[in-house]
Amino acid sequence: MEKLEAQDLELLMTEQEKYQFDLINGDFECEEASNILLNLIDEKINFQKKLRLQKWEKNHDYDLNATDKRIEELESQKNKLIQFFNQKKELANQVKIKSIVEITIGNE
């Protein structure tokens, strides 16, 4: 087995702790862009609602404020996005979306 130098080991650890990819990257018609983003937010809201229920089922005394706050944030963002696309659909036919997901393992 090949012995790793300290700098190689550090690079390997960095590569294992962080992962990044393009979730959305392209040009879309305004309605398509709206549908993609609103569906993504809806899925995230549903995930948070399921998570809330699971936590409550395990412990009826669980503080649900953080989950409720996140749901409210997502619903607010969804409403802003709807307003944005309603205003812009008359002005623009094409919309570019770039969304990068970055996953970091550890306590950074």
pLDDT of residue 102: 92
pLDDT of residue 91: 77
pLDDT of residue 1: 45
pLDDT of residue 105: 84
Q: Which residues of the chain have pLDDT under 50?
A: 1
If we measure between CA atoms, which residue out of 77, 51, 78 comes closest to residue 66?
A: 51
pLDDT of residue 2: 52
Q: Which long-range contacts (CB under 8 A, 24 or more apart) does 24-29 make?
A: 24/97, 24/98, 24/99, 25/97, 25/98, 25/99, 26/96, 26/97, 27/94, 27/95, 27/96, 28/94, 28/95, 28/96, 28/97, 29/93, 29/94, 29/95
pLDDT of residue 7: 58
